[in-house]
Amino acid sequence: MLPFVVSQYQLDFLIFLLINVIVVASYRLITTTGEFSLGHVVMMGSGAYASAILTKQAGLSPWLSMPLGGVVAGLLAYLLSFPLFRMKGFYFLIGSFAAGEAIRLCWNRFREPFGGPKGIKLIPAPELGALNIGAAFNYYFFTLIVVLVSLVILYRIERSRIGLIFNAIHWRDVLAESVGVHTWRYRMLALVTASFFVGIAGALLAHYIGTINPNRFGLAIMLYVLVWVIVGGTNTFYGPIIGVTVLSVIDEFIRAFEELRPLIYGGILIATVRFLPQGLESLPQRLLGWWRALRRQALPAEGPPSPRSDSDRSPP
């Protein structure tokens, strides 16, 4: 019910927050296999560019180009998985950054069809008859529906047999291979699925703001996504969602201190790693533990009961 009571600026904030929820939820799917990627935002940009090009140059309806944007991002992730998954851990992280940066520089270099440094402008918003879905009020509910459907699908994947295999690969990849699990294929499946959903998020962003450019999907934005996920936590499905929500609200309060934002984000990240290594998702459990410890300290120490003397005994 928030769109009925908030201002236009706050409504824009809510729409961007919902889009970012898909970004972090899909990113967590990659982390369940034990890998961290620096190319996730570029996959988001792939969906945005694909949907924008299909709408403006191929004449497709946004209702068709938006899911196709997710498909294009998934196909691109599939192609990248062949060289990237020859690496693991830190090497995969650097490899994903290199691959993503190469794609982003192509958007920046070629004016056709990507528009060069200026990107693509005047991207049309979806329409439903006489209803303009691109209006902020209507787009909020449209985005909300897409986000809820995406979260349900991602949650069901995590709770399925495939999700259990993802976790097995994370913690015991050699053991998983020894019982017949093809770890490369499942890592690829996680990357392709996550890229599909983040491609949908990119298409949602492109058709709402009406313009995209390569700088919108650079390393700086990817680092913010990493901070959202790490601060929220990756042990539970809702951890990254908590992280992006809390930090997005904080970001609105510190927007006036633009030059200090990286410093503030860095401080939050260091404090989280130091005091809440499992993220904000573990905060209720930590608070409960601290409360129980204080209760135990406040209670008087009770020793064993003293023996009663014969005079204390009542007569039979």
3-state DSSP assignment of residue 316: coil
Q: Are strands 127-128 and 131-132 parallel, antiparallel or unpaired?
A: antiparallel
Of 42-51, 163-172, 252-261, highest mean pLDDT: 42-51
pTM here? 0.89
3-state DSSP assignment of residue 212: strand
Cis peptide before 304 (omega within 30 of 0): no
Q: Which residue from 181, 193, 202 is spatially nearest to 50, judged by alpha carbons?
A: 202
DSSP code at position 306: P
Is the pLDDT confidence value at 286 over 60? yes
170-208 pLDDT, tens per residue?
888 888 888 888 899 999 999 999 999 999 999 999 999
- What mean pLDDT do residues 147-152 have? 97
Q: Which residue from 247, 252, 249 is spatially nearest to 232, judged by alpha carbons?
A: 247
